[in-house]
Amino acid sequence: MLERIRQSFQLTLDELLNKTTWPTWEELQSSAIVTLVASGLISIMVFLMDSGFENLFKLFYQITK
């Protein structure tokens, strides 16, 4: 049982060190910027939708009073 666990860890380490391609620093920075911009746009969109629904419900509640 312990031998199988050790072998699994060795295979995982070999995969990470020899078979995985890691991004360069420039690729990593570029991906981080894309993620930051996308997160910002999504948060703005959610804020606008939330504000719009808030105003819509306020109007609805004023009409139904």
pLDDT the model gives residue 52: 98
- Cβ–Cβ under 8 Å, residues 37 and 45: no
- Is 0.75 topped by the overall pTM? no
Percent of the chain beyond pLDDT 90? Answer: 89
Confidence of residue 13 (pLDDT cuts 50, 70, 90): very high
Mean pLDDT of 35-63: 97
User: What does the block give as tokens for 25?
Assistant: 């620093």
- Cβ–Cβ under 8 Å, residues 31 and 23: yes
Q: Distance (Å, rounded) from C-alpha 26 to C-alpha 32?
A: 10
Domain boundaries, the chain: 28-65
pLDDT the model gives residue 63: 92
Indicate if the pLDDT at residue 65 is higher than 90: no
